[in-house]
């Protein structure tokens, strides 16, 4: 009988379904040691955000086949390692959007009207009507950062309050914003300047980490309110603490923290900070939906059926994949690179070369689209929904085939968005190799953090880039230059051991003869 372990609270309706599938044990609040012990015989582990499923847990789970996340974010699960171990990861991305949007409105109102502070005051025997004068939402400007599932629900509710809504989401088609009656801005700093209230609804990625820092907070209005019901880490908590302490802005309302629970976090001592303990998805409705969705997904997987919310690869039967799997992984990596080089993608052409032209390439194209959308949507995108999401984001996808044999079995991507970008990737000795970038031939294995630097071929260019990286303590793992002729345009590919900050990128861009710098985190 299948053994199912549930380590975070999930809805009883879901437990009912799971009990029909196997032997269920519910053990919440386990210490890591306890979990390491229990996981040994478990086949299916069910978690929410309270359980960290790291390498050690996965290694200990010798019989683990499925990890189910009864919610959206899988940032507490080492999905790559699970994939490596052949463990399926499944989630429920749509279940809690309305609940999170409603909590966001709750926190906006609470901050605007000082509700938590006033509640504490009355309960302590005071009657301080003057102290707690608030502001109306009516007529105020709401700045929504991230116009995805939750952001869009927030817009609808804010409109009902008579708010004017502006948004920043470089990846969403402008028609989506137009249909919602939202003004879409091209610049986050502009939103920070204009908005009375700012609310965050983006995933936490290397690009969005600390997207609200000192610079953005300093641009905000004196009475601005900032709300975060997405992920801790989007706001630089040190900068926020300073701004709230100095009353640079009116208030912040947080459902999420960089470290949860936020023990000893100095923010908690501030009167103008209100907070909830990561309650966005904690409603009867969202939990019921999330629980039932993952229980149904598990049932499908156990029956050998296609499950829609599988986050990673191993769900696909080996016999169906054959030689395609490495090319799916290659395509996923190419997708990753393209989105991070271009930021906004309007059109992609996927050109299959060599003997790949004889294969059924549908799965490879899906893997490419999953990789393309992953840097902005994380676990919300999978092999099943990737083409639909690409379409909903107005990304025109074209597949074509060429008998050209120059690179053997390879995949070429020509993408258009902020600019045109092309890349060819192949597989040599079981390694992904970049064979061409923007028409320049190279032979480079991308690993860790990849920098693609376009420049004019002049003596000392490599040294100048290396010096700046060295100054910031960033190690170069490997590098290569591709050029057509000496003195002309060239491309430098560098693998770095660490991610690099916007400050370093800016410094490199300031070197004379550097044309463009793109830094890509390879997931």
Ligand X SMILES: O=C(O)C(=O)COP(=O)(O)O
Catalytic residues: 231, 260, 278
Which C-beta is closer to ligand NAI: that of 117 or that of 216? 216
Report the residue number whose CB is nearest to ligand NAI. 148
Q: How far apart are CA 410 and CA 413, in angstroms?
A: 10
Which residues touch 328 (CB under 8 Å, ≥6 apart)?
313, 321, 363, 364, 366, 367
309 binds ligand NAI (CB under 6 A): no
Distance CA 215, CA 233 (A): 16
Q: Which is nearer to ligand X, 43 or 96 (CB)?
A: 96
Sheet holding 66-69, edge to edge: 23-26, 3-6, 44-47, 66-69, 88-90
Stretch that binds ligand NAI, among 149-157, 433-441, 442-450, 499-507 (CB under 6 A): 149-157
Contact partner at residue 48 from ligand X, ligand NAI, none, CB < 5 to 8 Å by partner kind: ligand X
* Residue list 196-255, contact with ligand NAI (CB under 6 A): 201-204, 207-208, 229-231, 255
Among 65, 69, 278, 507, binds ligand NAI (CB under 6 A): 278
CB 513 within 8 A of CB 455: yes
> Pick from 60, 229, 237: which is nearest to 52 by CA?
60
Q: Which of 145, 341, 345, 494 binds ligand NAI (CB under 6 A)?
A: 145
In three-state secondary structure terms, 403 is coil
Task: Give me the DSSP letters along 40-63.
Answer: GG-SEEEE-TT--B-HHHHHH-TT
Shortest distance (Å) from residue 169 CB to ligand NAI = 4
461 in contact with ligand NAI (CB under 6 A): no
What's the rounded Cα separation, in Å, for the pair 61 and 4? Answer: 12
**Closest approach of Cβ 143 to ligand NAI, in Å?**
11
Picked from ligand X, ligand NAI, none, the partner binding residue 171 (CB below 5 to 8 A depending on kind) is ligand NAI
Q: Which of 6, 35, 72, 90 binds ligand NAI (CB under 6 A)?
A: 72
Which parts of this chain interact with ligand X (CB under 6 A)?
A: 48-50, 71-73, 96, 278, 280-282
Q: Which residues contact 122 (CB under 8 A, 6 or more apart)?
A: none
Buried b (16+ CB within 10 A) or exposed e, 141-162: bbbbbbbbbbbbbbbebbeebe
CB distance 307 to 90 below 8 Å: yes
User: How far apart (Å, rounded) are the C-alpha atoms in residues 509 and 523?
Assistant: 24
Of 138, 151, 208, the residue nearest 182 (C-alpha): 151
380 binds, among ligand X, ligand NAI, none (CB under 5 to 8 A by kind): ligand NAI
d(CA 175, CA 108): 27
Dist CA 338 CA 206 (whole Å): 16
CA–CA separation, 162 vs 139, rounded Å?
Answer: 6
Q: Does 280 bind ligand NAI (CB under 6 A)?
A: yes
Single out the residue of 314, 380, 425, 446 in contact with ligand NAI (rule: CB under 6 A). Answer: 380
Question: Is residue 155 helix, strand or coil?
Answer: helix
Query: 220 or 293: whose CB is closer to ligand X?
Result: 293
Residue 146 interacting partner from ligand X, ligand NAI, none (CB closer than 5 to 8 Å by kind):
ligand NAI
Per CB under 6 A, the list member of 61, 143, 146, 446 interacting with ligand NAI is: 146
356 binds, among ligand X, ligand NAI, none (CB under 5 to 8 A by kind): none
CA distances to 161, 369, 393, 434 from 402, in Å: 55, 20, 27, 18
Write the interaction track for ligand NAI spanning residues 153-192; mark x where CB under 6 A is met and - where it is not. ---------------xxxxx--------------------
Q: CB–CB of 507/475 below 8 Å?
A: no
Nearer to ligand X, 201 or 278 (CB): 278
Given ligand NAI, ligand X, none, residue 201, with its beta carbon under 5 to 8 Å by kind, binds ligand NAI
What's the min distance (Å) between Cβ of 375 and ligand X? Answer: 17
**Given the rule CB under 6 A, which residues bind ligand NAI?**
72-73, 96-97, 100, 145-151, 168-172, 201-204, 207-208, 229-231, 255-256, 278, 280-281, 376-377, 380
């Amino acid at each position: 009988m299948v053994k199912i372990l549930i380590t975070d609270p999930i809805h009883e309706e879901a437990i009912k379904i799971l009990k029909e599938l196997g032997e269920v044990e519910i053990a919440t609040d386990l210490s890591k040691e306890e979990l390491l012990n229990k996981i040994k015989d478990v086949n299916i582990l069910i978690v929410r955000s309270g359980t960290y499923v790291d390498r050690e847990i996965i290694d200990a789970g010798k019989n683990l086949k499925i990890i189910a996340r009864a919610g959206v974010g899988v940032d507490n699960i080492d999905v790559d390692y699970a994939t490596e171990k052949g463990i399926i990861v499944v989630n429920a991305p749509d279940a809690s959007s309305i609940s999170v949007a409603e909590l966001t409105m709750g926190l906006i109102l609470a901050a605007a009207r000082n509700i938590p502070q006033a509640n504490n005051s009355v309960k302590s025997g005071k009657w301080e009507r003057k102290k707690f004068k608030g502001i109306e939402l009516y007529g105020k400007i709401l700045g929504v950062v991230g116009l995805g599932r939750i952001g869009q629900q927030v817009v609808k509710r804010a409109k009902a309050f008579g708010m004017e809504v502006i948004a920043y989401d470089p990846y969403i088609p402008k028609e989506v914003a137009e249909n919602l009656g939202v003004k879409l801005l091209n610049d986050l700093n502009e939103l920070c300047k204009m908005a009375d209230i700012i609310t965050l609804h983006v995933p936490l990625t290397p690009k969005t980490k600390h997207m609200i820092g000192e610079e953005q907070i300093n641009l905000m209005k004196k009475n601005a309110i900032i709300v975060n019901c997405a992920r801790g880490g989007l706001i630089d908590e040190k900068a926020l603490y300073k701004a709230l302490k100095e009353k640079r802005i009116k208030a912040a309302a947080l459902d999420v923290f960089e470290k949860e629970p936020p023990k000893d976090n100095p923010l908690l001592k501030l009167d103008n900070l209100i907070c909830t303990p990561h309650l966005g998805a904690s409603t009867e409705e969202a939990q019921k939906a999330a629980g039932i969705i993952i229980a149904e997904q598990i049932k499908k997987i156990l029956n050998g059926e296609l499950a829609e919310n599988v986050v990673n690869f191993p769900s696909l039967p080996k016999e169906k994949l054959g030689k395609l799997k490495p090319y799916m992984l290659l395509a996923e990596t190419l997708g990753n690179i393209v989105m991070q080089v271009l930021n906004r993608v309007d059109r992609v052409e996927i050109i299959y070369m060599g003997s790949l032209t004889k294969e059924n390439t549908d799965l490879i194209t899906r893997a490419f689209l999953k990789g393309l959308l992953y840097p902005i949507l994380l676990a919300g995108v999978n092999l099943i929904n990737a083409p639909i999401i690409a379409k909903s984001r107005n990304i025109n996808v074209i597949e074509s085939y060429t008998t050209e044999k120059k690179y053997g079995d390879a995949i070429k991507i020509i993408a258009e968005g902020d600019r045109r970008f092309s890349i060819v990737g192949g597989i040599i000795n079981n390694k992904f190799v970049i064979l061409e970038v923007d028409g320049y031939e190279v032979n480079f294995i991308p690993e860790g953090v990849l920098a693609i630097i376009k420049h004019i071929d002049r003596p000392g260019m490599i040294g100048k880039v290396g010096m700046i990286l060295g100054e910031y303590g960033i190690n170069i793992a490997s590098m290569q230059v591709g050029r057509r002729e000496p003195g002309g345009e060239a491309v430098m590919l560098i693998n770095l051991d660490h991610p690099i900050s916007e400050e370093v990128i800016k410094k490199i861009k300031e070197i004379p003869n550097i044309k463009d710098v793109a830094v890509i985190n390879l997931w």
